[in-house]
Amino acid sequence: MAEGSTHNQHYKWIALSNTTLGVLMATINQSILIIALPVIFNGLKVNPLASNQTGLLLWVLLGFNVATTVLLVLFGRLSDMFGRVRLYNLGFLVFTLGSVLASLTWSQGTAGEVELIIFRIVQGIGGGFLFSNSAAILTDAFPQNQRGLALGLNQVAAIGGGIIGLLVGGALAATGHWRWVFLVNVPVGIFGTIWAFVALKEVSRRPSNQRLDILGNVTLTLGLLGIMLGLTYGIMPYGSHSMGWSNPRVIGELIGGFVFLIVFVIVETFTEQPLFNLRLFGIWPFTAGNLSGLLASLARGGLQFMLIIWLQGIYLPLHGISYANTPLIAGLYTLPQMLGFLVAGPISGTLSDRFGARTFATAGMVVTALGFYLLGSLPVDFNHWLFWIYLFVIGAGMGLFASPNSAAIMNSLPARYRGVGSGMRSTFTNAGSMLSMGIFFSIMIAGLAQKLPGTLYSGLTQHGIPAAGAAEISKLPPTSSLFAALLGYNPLKNLLQEFGLLSHIPAAQARYLTGHTYFPTLIGPPFMHGLKLAFLVSLIMSLVAAVVSFFRGKRYVHVEDSSEAVVPAPNSTK
């Protein structure tokens, strides 16, 4: 079917609503777990301070993202070969199955965590099908002059879903029933699966005699997996070090990952039907859009984690909010960021259809950089109105950027490459988010390692803890402190009991040290030291993304020709 005949006025809105539902569901699932972790760990009877818990906690959080990221390009390629709608439908089904399995996790303790990680990976496989095909389906369904609006709404759902997930996760955590965190996806998934099967249509031609690039798949998967494993275990303690960057395993994983990625590039250069079509990078708007998108993801990917640790572990307990209620209230505190997305995203997408992507995408990253600067200027116990305003600024900046940038990337591609191009775009975005979390956590832990031991020691000795006992407790790994804050958990009670100190101090003193406010007060200044460094890095990456976006060139749309060659079309004069 010719591209021009696919833009049915009724069908395009069906495609938009269904793909937006799929992307929204998948991105809500990415963040819903962050804020509901305390009730999930409580339900699984997990002790956060037990050995090896940091690694398992990270995999519970990141298993979905890792599976999605390493499979996106493969799924995009398979979609070009076997049909985008068909594999998009399969994504809804697999994601729903993973959600059911996660809600049925039957074991407790470490075994329960391992089961949950496996089921999260199943969800990630389904999410990979959804992410890799949604933009391609929309690009097929909408005419060029409306793609910015369509992809903008889809991108607002993708980014805004991460914030909605915090709110939904907080509300479900307040019920105390952790299985609902996963069951909430099931009705949406069943409805979306049936609706996609009935309503969506294959409107793109599938090229014949296509083969799967097996060697490219293997090398890309091993490369991405090696780097992600290295980043994950690099932020864990190793020996006497607060982080694991000197761990031979981490070094080996990172080197191995980079080597496999180099081999992947070589393989793709000589493969007749490559998985990652390097010729597409000859289209400068495609390259510039993906590079600025990667930088934007690096800047914002770890933001939600840091905000939840700040709110749930420090700010809200300081204001007398019980740990049982902090997840819901922390979710509510992040709403202004979503409002910024909702206001700026559709407007930016619509205007970029008319005036081109460069101005709006560039301005979006400048506004985002301003938001990070403002957020970094706040003290640990901030004025909540300023906090909400600054979050709105960041949300609006990201909304301004995401819509036109996605539309510019997809508009630059020939129709036959939209599936793999969409997968490549999503891979850059998801990989940026994964790398961002590694960067944010590394910066935070480095900052905590500088300040936290001395702060713990002086704070405990000032409240009657013997110097020897305070010295032992001050050796608590910064990673454990960070995750204790994320889980809304005061580790001092366990540590004081472990070293036999709790029974030797007055009862009033013990209640204060193990209460809601002391640990947040203690960890607050070291935490802010690391957080300001992380925000500074995000500010710099946002400005670099703005520069790359500015130099993407004027408005560009690929024009199909009979040869279907990947040849850049001339820029329009707009």
What is the per-residue pLDDT across 277-312, written as a single tens digit (0 to 9) for each? 788 888 888 899 999 999 999 998 878 778 888 888
The 10s digit of each residue's pLDDT in 516-565 is 788 888 888 888 888 888 899 999 999 999 999 988 866 555 555 434 44
The 10s digit of each residue's pLDDT in 483-508 is 777 776 778 877 888 778 877 788 88
Regarding whether 427 and 379 lie in a shared domain, the answer is: yes
Q: What is the mean pLDDT of the chain?
A: 82
Q: Give residue 562's pLDDT.
A: 37
- CA–CA separation, 314 and 517 (whole Å): 8
Which residue in this structure is represented by tokens 């590039």?
265
Of 453, 449, 411, whose CA–CA distance to 555 is shortest? 411
Domain count of the chain?
Answer: 2
Question: What are the backbone dihedrals phi and psi of residue 7, each rounded to the nearest 5 degrees, phi first?
Answer: -90, 60
Q: Domain end: 231, 248, 274, which one?
A: 274
Q: Give residue 566's pLDDT.
A: 41
Regarding whether 72 and 184 lie in a shared domain, the answer is: yes
Q: Which two tokens stand for residue 231?
A: 């980043």
Which 3 state secondary structure label does DSSP give 241?
strand
What's the CATH code of the domain at 193? Answer: 1.20.1250.20
Is 500 within the bounds of a domain? Answer: no
Is 336 within the bounds of a domain? Answer: yes
Q: Domain end: 229, 246, 274, which one?
A: 274
Regarding whether 231 and 82 lie in a shared domain, the answer is: no
Regarding whether 331 and 439 lie in a shared domain, the answer is: yes
More confident residue, 345 or 488: 345
User: Residue 413 — left, alpha, or beta (φ > 0 → left; ψ -120 to 50 → alpha)?
Assistant: beta
Q: Give residue 365's pLDDT.
A: 95
Q: Give residue 391's pLDDT.
A: 94
Q: Give residue 51's pLDDT.
A: 64
Q: Give residue 27's pLDDT.
A: 83
Distances (CA, A) of 32 to 27, 35, 171, 192: 9, 6, 10, 19
Q: Which two tokens stand for residue 273?
A: 């039907």
For residues 362-377, give the mean pLDDT: 95
Question: What are the backbone dihedrals phi and psi of residue 241, each rounded to the nearest 5 degrees, phi first?
Answer: -90, 145
Regarding whether 107 and 248 lie in a shared domain, the answer is: no
Is 83 within the bounds of a domain? Answer: yes
Is 268 within the bounds of a domain? Answer: yes
Question: What are the backbone dihedrals phi and psi of residue 238, each rounded to the nearest 5 degrees, phi first?
Answer: -140, 115
Q: In this structure, are residues 15 and 203 in contact, taking their beta carbons and an 8 Å threshold?
A: no
- CA–CA separation, 309 and 486 (whole Å): 4
Regarding whether 172 and 60 lie in a shared domain, the answer is: yes
Is 352 within the bounds of a domain? Answer: yes
- Burial-class residue 507 by CB neighbours within 10 Å (0-12, 13-18, 19+): exposed
- Kindly indicate the confidence band of residue 514, based on its pLDDT and cuts at 50, 70 and 90: confident
Regarding whether 270 and 280 lie in a shared domain, the answer is: no
- CA–CA separation, 337 and 486 (whole Å): 20
Of 258, 205, 204, whose CA–CA distance to 228 is shortest? 258
Which domain range does residue 232 map to? 213-274
Q: In this structure, are residues 245 and 233 in contact, taking their beta carbons and an 8 Å threshold?
A: no
Q: Output Rg (C-alpha) for the chain, integer angstroms.
A: 24
- Kindly indicate the confidence band of residue 151, based on its pLDDT and cuts at 50, 70 and 90: confident
For residues 253-271, give the mean pLDDT: 91
Is 289 within the bounds of a domain? Answer: yes
Regarding whether 350 and 261 lie in a shared domain, the answer is: no
- CA–CA separation, 523 and 476 (whole Å): 12
Regarding whether 286 and 242 lie in a shared domain, the answer is: no
- CA–CA separation, 99 and 119 (whole Å): 7
pLDDT of 417 above 80: no
The 10s digit of each residue's pLDDT in 175-225 is 878 899 899 889 988 998 898 888 888 776 666 666 777 888 889 889 988
Question: What percent helix, strand, coil does the chain show, rounded to 5?
Answer: 80, 0, 20
Regarding whether 279 and 154 lie in a shared domain, the answer is: yes
Of 174, 121, 134, whose CA–CA distance to 15 is shortest? 134
Is 462 within the bounds of a domain? Answer: no
Instruction: Give the pTM.
Output: 0.79
Is 480 within the bounds of a domain? Answer: no
Q: In this structure, are residues 55 and 236 in contact, taking their beta carbons and an 8 Å threshold?
A: yes
For residues 30-42, give the mean pLDDT: 82
Regarding whether 176 and 148 lie in a shared domain, the answer is: yes
- CA–CA separation, 33 and 304 (whole Å): 11
Regarding whether 329 and 226 lie in a shared domain, the answer is: no
Q: Give residue 538's pLDDT.
A: 92
The amino acid occupying position 83 is G
